[in-house]
Amino acid sequence: MPFRLGLTGSIGMGKSTTAGIFREFGVPVHDADAAVHALYGAEGVAPVEAAFPGVTVAGRIDRALLGARVLDDDAAMKRLESIVHPLVRAREAAFLAQAAAMGEPVAVLDIPLLFESGARGRVDAVVAVTAPESVQRARVLARPGMTEEKFAAILSRQLPDSEKRRRADYVIDTGHGLDHARAEVAALLAGLRERLARADGAGKNAQGDDDA
């Protein structure tokens, strides 16, 4: 099993961009948001349509229609999450099994709701991505279809950034450009590889492998 690095951060903080940097460095990444979007064209269609009739368009769950039904309705969102999260976990498990088969030492699980959905126990360490609030707001409101109301609804379901940073093992700041974030990821991976090599060496010594 690879070392599971959980990647989290509030909306617009730079999770996807940082996940892309891990990929550039050759680390496999599983993206929970992307898994949700993919399962809306696959195994998620039937159960989600059954719970929210009328949200399927041309065989796929339409996220704008579904969003309108759940984003300002707590009970509806909880119901949706109870359908979707187990399906995401199944995709994640398949990804980890494949990474293990490939002998990957480290794998990243990009989980936006890592702390909120009880996923902390599924990873070995947590990376939180952050940026100043003003940068986050400007990034999010620049997106097509985004409104102040939708932004507020999503934020209200997410643990505050300060709390995510406090609970994380590593913090990546995306407010200073791509090169800065790349350097932070490189340093994180170098430190982690050293830590894993040391742990591996200690394990071998404990088993007496190195004493032969």
Ligand X SMILES: CC(C)(COP(=O)(O)OP(=O)(O)OC[C@H]1O[C@@H](n2cnc3c(N)ncnc32)[C@H](O)[C@@H]1O)[C@@H](O)C(=O)NCCC(=O)NCCS
Ligand Y SMILES: Nc1ncnc2c1ncn2[C@@H]1O[C@H](COP(=O)(O)OP(=O)(O)OP(=O)(O)O)[C@@H](O)[C@H]1O
Closer residue to ligand Y (CB): 64 or 206: 64
Residues, the chain, total?
212
Among the listed residues 19, 87, 88, 128, the single contact to ligand X using CB under 6 A: 88
Which residues are near ligand Y by CB under 6 A?
9, 11-17, 33, 112, 139, 174, 177-178, 181
Cβ 84 to ligand X shortest distance, Å: 4
Cα separation, 177 vs 163, whole angstroms = 23
113 binds ligand X (CB under 6 A): yes
Closer residue to ligand X (CB): 71 or 196: 71
Contact positions with ligand X (CB under 6 A) in 9-38: 11, 32-33, 36
Residue 177 near which of ligand Y, ligand X, none (CB within 5-8 Å, type-dependent): ligand Y
Residue 9 near which of ligand X, ligand Y, none (CB within 5-8 Å, type-dependent): ligand Y
Those residues whose C-beta lies under 8 Å from the C-beta of residue 24, and which sit 6 or more positions away, are: 182
Residue 157 near which of ligand X, ligand Y, none (CB within 5-8 Å, type-dependent): ligand X
Asked if 25 and 185 touch (Cβ cutoff 8 Å), the reply is yes
Pairing assessment for the beta strands 60-61 and 56-57 based on DSSP bridges: antiparallel
Tokens of 68: 């309108």
Closest residue to bound ligand X by CB: 112
Asked if 192 and 185 touch (Cβ cutoff 8 Å), the reply is no
81 binds ligand X (CB under 6 A): yes
Asked if 85 and 48 touch (Cβ cutoff 8 Å), the reply is no
Those residues whose C-beta lies under 8 Å from the C-beta of residue 112, and which sit 6 or more positions away, are: 8, 9, 11, 15, 32, 33, 158
Residue 188 near which of ligand Y, ligand X, none (CB within 5-8 Å, type-dependent): none
Over its C-alpha atoms, the chain yields an Rg (Å, rounded) of: 19
Catalog residues that contact ligand X under the rule CB under 6 A. Answer: 11, 32-33, 36, 63, 66-67, 70-71, 77, 80-81, 84, 88, 112-113, 154, 157-158
